[in-house]
Amino acid sequence: MYWNGEKEVTKQEVRDIFDKVLKEQDALEMWVTRPDDFENMDLFQHILIKAKDAESFNTDLLDRCYDDEERDLHSHVIILNEIEGYREGAMPKSVCVYKNGRWLDAD
């Protein structure tokens, strides 16, 4: 796994980056299509974040967790103020892994 093609990082380091960004920007929820391995850049990720202020939410640091110039991989991070209607239609098999400042899984 690489972060921005520059430094190899662990799953926990990617999780720490997400944790920092989600908390600093007041994210309310995060839903993913691959809950057991959303940190893995080798798989195309669908990530949906519910935020208090979707307009100003900055995803640059999250996107860099998946960028790799050699392989042209990108995450699919979507930020919305309300996600329910969108999530059911576009990501029906998604799982909530982060809610109100806490990770919902034990990993």
Write down all domains in the chain, each with its CATH number in brackets.
2-103 (3.30.460)
- Name the 3-class secondary structure at 67: coil
Q: Which residue has the tokens 């799953």?
A: 11
pLDDT at 106: 47
pLDDT at 87: 83
CB 37 within 8 A of CB 66: no
pLDDT in tens, the chain (107 residues): 555 456 777 778 888 889 999 999 999 999 988 888 877 766 667 889 999 999 999 988 887 777 665 655 556 788 888 888 888 888 888 899 999 999 997 45
Instruction: Determine if the pTM surpasses 0.75.
Output: yes
